[in-house]
Every structure is written in structure tokens, then in C-alpha cells.
Amino acid sequence: MAAQSLAAGPTPAERERLAHLAADLMDWYEAPGLSVAIATKREPVYVEAFGFADKERQETLTTQHRFRIASVTKPITSAGILLLMQAGRLRLTDHVFGPNSILGDEYKTPPNRQDIERITIEHLLTHTSGGWPNDHDDPMFKNKEMNHRELINLALETEPLRCEPGYRYAYSNFGYCLLGRVIEKITNQKYDQYIISALLGPSGISDMQKQYT
């Protein structure tokens, strides 16, 4: 799509091409629906939805439907942590568990598990904590009836680290759950309250919502 046409929005031919691309993507990924937004100079010039929000009920997807953003919350969490670092309230080298750590006595380190006390903020941010990877043992997808405190205590007690912190990369949903608790500890706010006030609000984002299950 040419830059000059983008400023005025896609032409009918370009809209047709975008619709074909959307159909191809949905077919390739077996996705029931797809939403597309293109902006120039912070102004939307093309906003369209394709397919279904609920295929079984034949509910057509619209541009007003919200999508579950899943792991897109990780860069949002990272930005929240970096803001705290920028304000001097947190450092990459700060330890998460154990004596003189951020979470301190919030979660007890199991006996003979001092490796956990070596985990730092940097390890969690970079998925190098040494444990809790995104596999069949991922703590975030087990015991879904537990709250965060119960889940973290159980994971610390029953799932040992697989290697020394900082030694190996392994994508970790649980690590970012821990970063959320770090934010709550440092700010004395709920995670979503802090993210809204410190990050989303100043960025002009007003329609993102927490999903309650």
C-alpha cells in the first residue's frame, strides 16, 4: 500500500486486497476471526473486522469486540517494572525471594532451596530464572482454582529449579506472574490499578479491561 494512499485511507482495490490477506491468514492459522487496524500520524485510516467472534453461534466479529491479549501482557508488565526502575524504586539486581529481597517473607523459601533466593528481577524479565518453563508442568495452567499466593507457594514447594538462575533461557509465564507480585509489593497497589494509572492512562489507553474468570 503506497504511503500517499495510506494517509487518505485504502482505496477500494486495496481494501479488497486486505480482505483477501485477512482470509488467507485466518485460513492458514485456522482462526475464526481477525481484526485489523492501520493508523498514520496516530489517526486510524483503516479499521475492519473479518470472520466470527463466535463461530458456533455465527456471531459476526466487529471492530468493537475485545480480544484476549494473553502474553501481550508481558511487555506491559515489563514496561511497568521499567517505570519503577526509572523512578529508583527497583533495580535489575534486586533479589525476589529470601532475606532482604523484594518479596521477603511474603513467600517462604523451602528448606535446601537456596537457589530460589538467587533469582533477580533481571532473571524474571529475561526468562532466565532457571525454572517454571512453559511446558506440560507450567504452574500457571495447573490448579486453576488457586489464587496467586496459593499457586506461588505450591510452585516454590513442589517444582525445583531446573538449572542455576541466569544460566539458560526458558520462556516462563510463571516468572511474569512473579513480576506482577513484585509490582504489587513495591507500589502497594493491585497490579491492574498500577498498570492503568502508571502506563495505560498516560498512553491514552482507556478501553483495556482485566479479564475475570
- Note the pLDDT of residue 4: 47
Instruction: Please give the Cα distance from 141 to 134 (Å, whole number).
Output: 9
The residue among 38, 60, 82 that closes a domain is 60
Is residue 69 over pLDDT 50?
A: yes
- Note the pLDDT of residue 213: 46
With DSSP H G I counted as helix, E B as strand and the rest as coil, what are the percentages for the chain, rounded to 5?
45, 10, 45
**201-211 pLDDT, tens per residue?**
998 888 887 76
Could you tell me if residue 159 is inside a domain? yes
Q: Which residues pair with 33 in a beta bridge?
A: 51
CATH number of the domain residue 187 falls in? 3.40.710.10
| 25 and 78 fall within a common domain | no
- Note the pLDDT of residue 148: 92
| 53 and 120 fall within a common domain | no
| 33 and 122 fall within a common domain | no
| 84 and 168 fall within a common domain | yes
Instruction: Please give the Cα distance from 91 to 81 (Å, whole number).
Output: 9
- Asked if residue 133 lies in contact with residue 124, where contact means CB atoms within 8 angstroms, the answer is no
Is residue 13 over pLDDT 90?
A: yes
Joined grid coordinates for residue 153: 507457594
The residue among 29, 60, 91 that closes a domain is 60
| 40 and 84 fall within a common domain | no
Split at pLDDT 50, 70, 90, the class of 28 is very high
Instruction: Please give the Cα distance from 209 to 190 (Å, whole number).
Output: 14
| 128 and 105 fall within a common domain | yes
**128-147 pLDDT, tens per residue?**
999 999 999 899 998 888 99
30-to-51, 53, 57, 68 alpha-carbon distances in Å: 11, 13, 17, 17
Is residue 2 over pLDDT 60?
A: no
Percent of the residues in the chain that have a pLDDT greater than 70, as a whole number: 95
| 12 and 52 fall within a common domain | yes
How many distinct structural domains can be found in the chain? 2
- The beta strands (E) that lie in 41-197 are given as 43-54, 59-60
| 74 and 177 fall within a common domain | yes
b (16+ CB within 10 A) / e for 84-114: beeeeebeeebbbbbeebbbeebbebeeeee
| 74 and 129 fall within a common domain | yes
The arithmetic mean of pLDDT across residues 148-168, rounded, is 93
Q: Which domain holds residue 166?
A: 70-200
Model pTM score = 0.83
